[in-house]
Amino acid sequence: MDPSQDNPTVRFKAFFWALALFALFGVVLGILALTNRKQPQTLEDIAAVSRYENLDKVNGAQSAQFSYKEVEAGKTVQVKPQDVFALVGQKLAATKPSAVEKPEQVIPGTAAAKSIEEAAKNAAPVKVVETDPNAPIDPAVMDAGKTEYALCQACHGPDGNGVPGLAPPLAGSEWVNGPVENPIRITLRGLGGPIEVKGVDYNLPAPMMSVAHLSDAQLASVLTYVRNSWGNKASAVTAEQVKAFRGEVGLPALQASDLKSPH
């Protein structure tokens, strides 16, 4: 290049033009990215979004519930953050929803849809014979049930009165004291969505997960225990009754509307 043409002013201007163009390009890209933000498209996206929403809700409920504790009337202490985090972690691990939870999220005709249909067929209406509500309850079963209740207690509270923001009461609950199949199916499949208990509407952030890892005998004892504690009075639950519903394990969590009306 002819050095006489090397005009610093021109170079300076050209540089700023280039800079301006570059910046403009960035702004346009930014606007495009913002306006083009898509709604979640795939089932995985939807599941991921709901997982994050769930996480937010659980975190909120947990910290509201546990970061401050009333140790005696009018005296509140702050619970150590690490204790709160540990508890939140436990709850989240326990309630982590599966990627595809509801039959309507499943693409028809796929293997997943077929296995859900298959499971639903196996879960054809089961008939259970209710045990005599007036028969005396075996104290050994009550003891065993009390031990198993430690699991339920984490959410439903030591006296079955429920925990605000976490789980509804079992004491006096029509779902507990009503038809035996309701508490059996709830524990085998889990329960989510709005539910009315003792005239109060609950819509809790996290569903109850299935506790089907407990054996028929363990579930029978814990259900006998909750049906006959804190003023509850209902027939004992037998391992045979629980076994009759085992076929439902693995099906999506129940909603209150899937249960037998307790009224």
Residues that bind ligand HEC (CB under 6 A): 94-95, 151-152, 154-156, 167-170, 173, 175-176, 183, 186-187, 191-193, 195, 197, 202, 204, 207-209, 211, 222-223, 226, 256
CB of 95 to ligand HEC, least distance (A): 6
Q: What's CA 21's distance to the chain center, in Å?
A: 51
Long-range interactions of 154-158: CB distance < 8 A, separation 24+? 155/208
Strand, coil or helix: what is 117?
helix
Pick the closer one to ligand HEC by CB: 202 or 230.
202
The smaller minimum CB distance to ligand HEC, of residues 113 and 193, is found at 193
Task: Kindly state the smallest distance separating residue 148's Cβ from ligand HEC, in Å.
Answer: 7
Q: Evaluate whether 74 touches 68 at the Cβ level (below 8 Å).
A: no
CB of 193 to ligand HEC, least distance (A): 5
Choice between 61 and 123, CB closer to ligand HEC: 61
Structure tokens at 136: 């005396």
How far, in Å, CA of 33 to CA of 35, rounded? Answer: 6
Q: How far apart are CA 140 and CA 16, in angstroms?
A: 87
In angstroms, give the least distance from the CB of 211 to ligand HEC: 5
Two structure tokens written together for 150: 């430690």
> Judged by CB, which is closer to ligand HEC: 47, or 208?
208
Choice between 95 and 228, CB closer to ligand HEC: 95
Q: What is the rounded distance in angstroms from the CA atom of residue 47 to the CA atom of residue 53?
A: 10
Integer Cα distance of 31 and 39 in angstroms: 17
Distance of closest approach, residue 173 Cβ to ligand HEC, in angstroms: 3
CB of 109 to ligand HEC, least distance (A): 30
Distance CA 141, CA 236 (A): 9
Amino acid at 194: P
Which CB atom, from 112 or from 131, has the smaller least distance to ligand HEC?
131
